[in-house]
Amino acid sequence: MNRSRSVRGGLESEIVRTLDGAAEPLTPRQVQTMLDRELAYTSVMTTLARLERKGVLERERRGRGFAYRLSGDDESAARAGESARRMRQALDSSPDRNVALLRFVGELRPEDEALLTELLKQSLAKGEGEDL
């Protein structure tokens, strides 16, 4: 497993959880302060921007910068985040990632397989899958 990929995924999850618990949109500095670990401001900014490009977050102008919140319905976004975390945990606990992914894809409905294929293409086109 590529270490930078898992660290980034962990940071993304932490940021989503932080924003999920917030009463209002948060600036990158506010997110950085609320996280339980020390991170460079640029790491938080980059991760927020990546999540916004993926459609997980929305941003709004706040002074000279932006504030971020979960996209769409907060409840559905929180459920989607929890589902993604469970999927990641199941994959991480598998002794053979290749077999686990192969079986997962093999059990997808055709429309879900097509959606996954499109999402992977978009991710690669944006350079997010370079370390896969």
- Predicted local distance difference test score (pLDDT) of residue 4: 37
Q: Would you kindly state where each structural domain of the chain is located, as residue ranges?
A: 3-70, 74-125
Buried/exposed code over 69-93 (b: 16+ C-beta within 10 A; e: otherwise)? bbbeeeeebbebbeeeeeeeeeeee
Q: Which residues of the chain have pLDDT under 70?
A: 1-9, 73-75, 77-78, 126-132
> What is the model's pLDDT at position 7?
42
Q: Global pTM?
A: 0.54
Percent of the chain beyond pLDDT 90?
Answer: 43
Burial class (CB in 10 A: 0-12, 13-18, 19+), 28: buried
Longest dimension (CA), the chain: 49
Among the four given CATH numbers 3.30.43.10, 1.20.1050.10, 1.10.10.10, 2.60.120.10, the one describing domain 3-70: 1.10.10.10
- pLDDT reported for residue 132: 43
d(CA 25, CA 68): 5
Q: Which helix (H) or strand (E) holds 62?
A: strand 57-62
Count of other CB atoms within 10 angstroms of residue 33: 11
20 close to 74: Cβ distance less than 8 angstroms: yes
Report which secondary-structure segment, H or E, holds 67.
strand 65-70
